[in-house]
Amino acid sequence: MNPFSSGTRLRDMIRAIRACKTAAEERAVVRKECASIRAAVSDNDQDYRHRNLAKLMFIHMLGYPTHFGQMECLKLIAAPGFPEKRIGYLGLMLLLDERQEVLMLVTNSLKHNMVDYLRCLVLSTCKKEFLIIEKLLSSSDRDLNHTNQYIVGLALCALGNICSAEMARDLAPEVERLLQFRDPNVRKKHCTNISAYTAQAALCSIRIVKKVPDLAENFVNPVVSLLKEKHHGVLLTGIQLCIDLCKLSEEALEYFRKKCTEGLVKVLKDVVNSPYAPEYDVGGIADPFLHIRLLRLLRVLGHGDADASDCMNDILAQVATKTESNKNAGNAILYECVETIMSIEDNSGLRVLAINILGRFLSNRDNNIRYVALNMLMKAVSVDDQAVQRHRVTILECVKDSDASIRKRALELVYLLVNESNVQPLTKELIDYLQVSDQDFKEDLTAKICSIVEKLSPDKIWYIDQMLKVLPQAGNYVKDEVWHALIVVITNASNLHGYTVRSLYKAIQTSGDQETLVRVAVWCIGEYGDMLVNNIGMLNVEEPITVTENDAVDVIQIAIKRHTLDLTTRAMCLIALLKLSSRFPSCSQRIKDIITQSKGSLLLELQQRSIEFDSIIEKHQNIRSALVERMPVLDEATYSGRRAGSMRATVSTSHGTALNLPNGVAKTAAAPLVDLLDLGAEEPAAPSSSGGNFLQDLLDVDTSSSSQSGTTQPQKSGTDVLLDLLSIGSPSPQNGSSAPDILSISKDNRTSVSALDSLSSAIGPSVQASFTAGDAPMMDLLAGFGPSPPAPPPKDNGPAYPPMVAFESSSLRIMFNLSKQPVSPQVTHIEAIFTNKSSDVYTDFIFQAAVPKFLQLHLEPASGNTLPGSGNGSITQKLQVTNTQHGKKSIVMRIRISYKLKGKDMLEEGQISNFPRDL
Amino acid sequence: IHFVLLISRQGKVRLTKWYSPYSQKERSKVIRELSGMILTRGPKLCNFVEWRGFKVVYKRYASLYFCMCINQEDNELEILEIIHHYVEILDRYFGSAYYILDEVLIAGELQESSKKTVARLVAPQDSLVEAAKEEANSISNIIAQATK
């Protein structure tokens, strides 16, 4: 050994690391080695540089930081000898990636090596004398020139693997020259070496054109000559480069299509018919790699061009029929061939051939082959659905395969294959399989089943039946949208309410741990509990069941006590209980006890609801039945529209400009409960900022602050209002008796008019003004309801403004009545009155408004969404604008009105800037 | 091909080669994820796993897993052939796996389909290194003698 040497040999280090029993030991060894390598680096040690780099590469592979070795790579590359350069380049490719700046330094070194070699090659071509080249090359076998060839190889390899855009630009001309240096006379002995460099240069070019696409055109001509090559390596890489050029440039594609299609077809023919060649033989097939590349290039050339496609028909048919399919190599070629047939221009004969091949693949016992068949059939569906449908049974079997990759592919394929005619048997199969499938596959499977069922159900009962099968199996995997949609469908199927609630009752007995099943069941029992116990609405297929009122309450009691279920579910349970307390008077006391148990809940939401509900049951027997009326039918179109609408609102607020704000306050998806419980569900949206404030919605009590403050405050104010209501209600019988009146009014008009609106229209505008403006609205409301209503005239409350025409078009007029409270000059109350100027009725009328950032806008629900024609009625909607820059800027507003006229969607937009200046 | 991984049955990395840019952090994450996915798969399952919108084709030879990551639309069966091709060359010429891989793949594309040619190209490069080593040894011997 060299007496100056330090450290261990590479082999010893690897052995030492392998011998380590714990990670800590390994770290210690690596640390020691790294320290000695660092020392060597700082000493600029020459002799062991390559060994140190080899060690570093090993350490790097183990995942330790090795950045300090990067410069060592460069030093080794700059060294004169081949061994140093070789390891230097290897280290370069491993330790660096293209984003690191050190790489810039490499460029010079690379250039130098190649230029040297090029000079030599160009010299030899000029003389065009085979003998001279041969002599040159053979004589150089043992001297520097020989090593130089390999060094060029190293350089090209490194360039191809890691070059950056800058390097690509710098070195492109050299690589391009190397590509072109192909003397057709140079054959035999030395052609291997030279071909190897041409091939390397071609692959290098791929990297270059991918990094710098504008260089593509420089390579088009050299490639054409590469495609005429006999040498497989060169041909292979030439084709690959050609494919990449076609991807980058339409012109190149056109050029190759004209110039090379026929030639390539001939090359493929030669390869297919070539005799046994041991060098390229793989399982009895001559060079499958070349086959595949040729087929791929033909696909690119044939796609979208009838002539080119025509030209390759014969050879594709030959490949498809003649290729042996008992080995992987043959199947790889067939696979590629099928793909080419599918994407070139239509030839029905070939397509039949291709689909047949896939059918054979599908019944193959090798999983790999089945996998690619499924993959390919997905593409074939768009081309020939019928042909794929024929294999449906086999595909369905693949969904049940033990291999996760195959299952996934098959499921996606089945999803594509489902249509109206086969949805029922396919869904049955999938649901049956759901019972036995792996846990980790259930999520995908459930999502697909739900999507199929929702999209293609022939009728409501089938839809509900399928969902009733899915929920007990995989309720924990069902997404929120899915069960929301299910509830919307259930409410719409009025003849199925009894059937549904009974089925759910049966299902929850056995599968009480499936979250979404519990939610849907609890909701339905709350709504349709009376139908459950009395077997109302029996279908012919149903067996009558005996459920007592106590049984129904049991179910909910069990659910609310189950700790695995989340807050939303338990909150739903509480609401269901409140509803049942009215539906089942005999259980009222028991329900009250259950509700009371949540009074001590640590979850604020549950605690609060529990207290509220308890007090409703205890003190307000008379209003309770009205409070918990069955929910009105949810409108399917509105529901799906709202799903889209709330998404739109979220998007627009995230942009900072609330241009598309829908009526009312935008709801977030996190408050689904409100959606479902919101009594005024027909209205586009009730004002609500917190998911739990449903009672507030229910009564449509609004405080001026609730919609605009943060998330905690509205809850508080909601409670306050409620408590106000309740505390006022009990001591004063007079007021208490008036409360049901309010609610009965609201009930009658529930479908179109909110409680508030009907109330105000009944009493007159004066109360309404004071009500909406007041700081303690309930107080005002109840005071205003007294036996002798001393309604304060609105004039006392603030300055008066004349009504203004805010917007007028040929079809529509919008009037604004403005009012203000002296205590809060920033806040303007607007009552918008919409009048239809045409003679036709407008339906689905929605008014939207947006304001600049310094304003805050709050829209209350409109009085309706149908606007009769010829001015025979109007819609009113209240708005409340808070001007944070009051006195400095005046109000402006952008509006959008959408409605349906004879079923056609209409949209009007405008800007209102004629507000009085001091608002 | 985006990258090539050789992993032992115990999940130890034996060779990595990246043809698409991945930062060091991403690389170790990729290796962790893939070895978790691939090593747990049963013996008779297919050789493809879908991963982050790519496909990973893997094959086990003895206790080594050869994994290659490709695009969705690439030919999986061909990649299996490439792996086999590489393994056969390794077998025929047992030397540095890295240098051989460099002759087989550049920029994630197949370079040479003839095993013989690859062997023919790697062998002289190794002999060059050997020659240089011998030379270096003799020099160091001379130095050693001189400094005695």
Query: How many CB atoms neighbour CB A898 within 10 A?
Result: 15
Amino acid identity, position A298: L
> How high is the mean pLDDT in each 10-residue block of chain B (148 residues)?
84 80 80 86 81 86 85 85 81 63 62 65 67 60 56
Minimal CA separation from B120 to chain A, in Å: 9
Q: Does residue A584 sit in helix, strand or coil?
A: coil
Query: What is the DSSP code string of A351-381?
Result: HHHHHHHHHHHHT-S-HHHHHHHHHHHHHHH
Contact (CB<8Å) A292/B98: no
Q: What residues contact A48, with CB distance under 8 A and at least 6 apart?
A: A5, A6, A7, A40
Question: Domain containing B57 — which CATH number?
Answer: 3.30.450.60
Report yes or no: A333 and A319 within 8 Å, Cβ to Cβ: yes
Q: Is A906 helix (H, G, I), strand (E, B) or coil?
A: strand
Q: Which run of H or E residues covers position A905?
A: strand A904-912
* pLDDT at residue A792, as a whole number: 41
Q: Which one, of A118, A2, A9, A114, lies nearest residue A54 by Cα? A: A9
Interface of A with B in 451-470 (CB under 8 A): none
In 3D, which of A248, A375, A238 has the Cα closest to residue A294? A238
**Which residue is listed with tokens 């004063």?**
A732
Interface contact flag, A86 B125, Cβ < 8 Å: yes
What is the model's pLDDT at position A408? 83
Q: In whole angstroms, what is the distance from residue B45 CA to residue A406 CA?
A: 9
Domains of chain A: 249-345 (no CATH), 646-783 (no CATH), 804-912 (2.60.40.1230)
Chain B contacts of A17, Cβ < 8 Å? none
Across the interface, do B125 and A203 touch by the CB < 8 Å criterion?
no
One DSSP character per residue, B95-106 reads: S-HHHHHHHHEE
Q: Any residues with CB less than 8 A from the CB of A464 and at least 6 apart, and which?
A: A486, A489, A490, A493, A496, A499, A500, A503
- φ/ψ region of A903 (left if φ > 0, alpha if ψ in -120 to 50, else beta) reads left
Asked if A343 reaches chain B (Cβ–Cβ under 8 Å), the answer is no
Q: Write down the pLDDT at residue A148.
A: 59
pLDDT at A910: 84
What is the mean pLDDT, run by run of 10 residues, along chain A of 919 residues? Answer: 54 80 85 84 76 81 75 72 75 65 52 48 33 36 46 72 72 72 46 65 81 82 80 83 86 83 84 76 78 87 82 83 81 87 80 83 83 84 78 81 81 81 80 78 81 79 80 79 81 80 83 82 83 76 77 82 79 84 81 83 84 83 76 72 49 36 36 39 38 39 37 40 40 39 40 38 38 40 40 48 80 83 79 84 84 82 81 82 80 85 82 78
Q: Which residues of A688-707 are buried (b: 16+ CB within 10 A; e: fewer)?
A: bbbbbbbbbbbbbbbbbebb
- pTM summary value: 0.59
Q: State both tokens at A89.
A: 């380049």
Does the beta-carbon distance from A160 to B82 stay under 8 Å? no
Residue A576 belongs to what H/E stretch?
A: helix A567-583
How many structural domains compose chain B? 1
Q: Is the Cα torsion angle B81, B85, B88, B90 positive or negative in sign?
A: negative
CA distance A58 to A306: 54
For A:237-256, CB contacts with B below 8 A are: 237, 240
Asked if A209 contacts A219 with a C-beta cutoff of 8 angstroms, the reply is yes
- A vs B, Cβ pairs < 8 A, gives 169
Taking only residues 396 to 415 of chain A, the set having a beta carbon closer than 8 angstroms to any beta carbon of chain B reads: 402-406, 408
Which chain A residue has the Cα nearest residue B125? A150
Interface contact A204-B106, CB threshold 8 A: yes
C-alpha pair distances (Å), B101 with each of A167, A462, A713, B31, B82: 23, 58, 66, 19, 11
Q: What is the pLDDT of residue B96?
A: 57
- Domain span including residue B9: 3-147
Measure the CA–CA gap between A54 and A52, rounded to whole angstroms. 5
Is the distance from CB of A598 to CB of A574 less than 8 angstroms? yes
CB contact at 8 A, A542 and A491: no
- Helix/strand/coil (H/E/C) assignment for every residue in A512-558: CCCHHHHHHHHHHHHHHHHHHHHCCCCCCCCCCCCCCHHHHHHHHHH
A439: CB partners within 8 A, 6+ apart: none
Which residues 288-317 of A are in CB contact (within 8 Å) with B?
288-290, 292-293, 296
Helical (H) or strand (E) element with A847: strand A842-850
